[in-house]
Chains A and B, each alone.
Chain A
């Protein structure tokens, strides 16, 4: 894969990378750190990617790894009441839905992002999350129920 092709594919995946990082990290700065690290590692490790058709799946997995690393290594530097979480809110952001999703356990959250927001099929999500297909389905079903409960309305098809 050429550098131009790499950049093109990354730019096409920008929204996905952003939303996957949102599933793990609450601070915008951390999300940018994770994506930056993931892109550098992907670029350096491009030779390990045997099939270019799996590039996006592969990149998402690298990003998940980086998000988990940041969670693991994160050190609280000042109390959270001094440095509040400031989610970036662009026009049209559905804050209620965001809160409902962020209340889900991590595994469910990622499944929701990949299935409902990114439109990945269950098989592909199973590969990305490294869990059986049945686990993805059950996580999605439980996530739907929990989001319904949180939103207190029958908002989900």
Chain B
């Protein structure tokens, strides 16, 4: 019988020592992470914008976002999608559901990774506020109007903003499927042109490609506000595919200052940039040392990045959907998701290991990534 909290809690057990260590480390470094926001002239302008917005004017945002904009402005400080990026997408796919129009503005498949922008608007052209699947009614409106994210105006709940501006609020979602399986991916949202359109940026992984094209089912949803059954429909679409060039470089070089060996660099190059995956391990002959334990317990938060050898600065990042860090066992690690802008055309990368906690850096490793 599952009567007690403890019986239920046994499903997940206790946090692992590594989880504990990371939490303790985070709490130990709180002070240096604290940033104090100062009231600046820019803030004053933004507060004025809030007052104007609350007195009846709908927040006016006139940007029309592209796939490149999402990568350049939404995915980290150092991401740099090609400015003149053109996906080559020429499809014309539109669906209507519950009085809403869903239209694919742009779509692009890089290797097996899909990026798409879908415009959502009312079919009658009237203003409305749209929230994507994971935006809740009391989430900050700044999640939908990017310019409002950094000021107090951006903290107003979505539902309150809709009420004050007399805007109907729609809850929408979508996904891409192949063989009736929804592809893993993510979504991001941005209200455009005042309250006319939601730009819905959607990504999907592991897209299967045939003859230079990805055939997908594009599924759209509307969630009724009364909690009734979700309304859903789908159509077939085809998106051209940009092939990725992939290769690996064996390195097997020790990191100066740490009991670590950088084994291999896996690379994938497309028009969005050069994607990097670092494979490394703790030198087993030094596995009992204090430094090795510090790495395993994340007291040293070891990452790798590509730098400019002249300035020591990190190279501009390429468009990427983010990465992850994995360890198949206690001594082997794989860091993925790092990337270098497509503007980088060199044949040598300078890889710098660094401790993300202390900002310490270790010996740079020079890696030739292209043959003459």
Measuring CB to CB, which residues of chain A are less than 8 angstroms from any residue of chain B? 3, 6-7, 10-11, 14-15, 17-19, 22, 27-33, 35-36, 39-40, 43-44, 47-48, 68, 71-78, 82-84, 88-94, 97-98, 100-101, 112, 116-119, 130, 132, 134-135, 155-157
Contacts and interface: CB of A to CB of B under 8 A. Distances in A.
A30 B324 contact: yes
B328 A73 contact: no
A74 B324 CA distance: 6
Given A32-B23, A75-B205, A97-B2, A92 B10 contact: yes
Contacts of A78: 326, 334, 336
Nearest to A118: B5
Contact of B15 (A18, A71, A76): A18
Interface of B: 1-3, 5, 7-16, 18-20, 22-23, 26-27, 30-31, 33-35, 37, 113, 134, 136-139, 155, 184-188, 205-206, 227, 277, 298, 320-328, 334, 336-337
Contacts of B12: 18-19, 22, 93, 98, 117
Contacts of A40: 26, 30, 33
A88 B16 contact: yes
B326 A116 contact: no
Given A73-B323, A97-B8, A130-B138, 5 more contacts: A43-B34, A83-B328, A91-B13, A100-B11, A117-B5
A107 B136 CA distance: 13
A69 B312 CA distance: 30
A94 B13 CA distance: 7
Contacts of A22: 12
A75 B23 contact: no
A35 B138 CA distance: 22
A6 B30 contact: yes
B33 A77 contact: no
A73 B322 contact: yes
A39 B8 contact: no
A77 B334 contact: yes
Contacts of A77: 277, 323-324, 326, 334, 336-337
A81 to B, nearest CB: 11
A71 B186 contact: yes
A6 to B, nearest CB: 7
A66 to B, nearest CB: 12
Contacts of A117: 5, 8-9, 11-12
Contacts of B35: 44
B321 A36 contact: no
Q: Which 9 A-B pairs have the closest CB atoms?
A: A72-B186, A73-B322, A77-B336, A130-B136, A93-B13, A88-B16, A90-B13, A94-B10, A97-B11
Contact of B8 (A7, A91, A116): A116
Given A77-B337, A97-B11, A135-B227, A39 B34 contact: no
Contact of A3 (B30, B136, B227): B30
B323 A28 contact: no
Nearest to B136: A130
Contacts of B320: 75
5 contacts: A28-B18, A44-B35, A76-B205, A117-B5, A117-B12
B290 to A, nearest CB: 21
Contact of B19 (A32, A130, A156): A32
Contact of A101 (B3, B11, B16, B26): B11
A72 B22 contact: no
A157 B1 contact: yes
A93 B205 CA distance: 33
Contacts of A156: 1-2
A35 B23 contact: yes
Contact of B134 (A36, A43, A68, A94): A68
A71 B227 CA distance: 25
Nearest to A73: B322
B227 A94 contact: no
A120 to B, nearest CB: 11
Contacts of B328: 82-84
Contact of A44 (B10, B33, B188): B33
A75 B323 contact: yes
B22 A36 contact: yes
B34 A29 contact: no
A74 B320 CA distance: 11
Contact of A43 (B33, B137, B155, B326): B33
Contacts of A44: 33-35
A22 B35 CA distance: 29
Contact of A39 (B27, B113, B188, B321): B27
B33 A29 contact: no
A27 B324 CA distance: 11
Nearest to A147: B2
A36 B138 CA distance: 24
Given A94-B10, A119-B5, A14 B324 contact: no
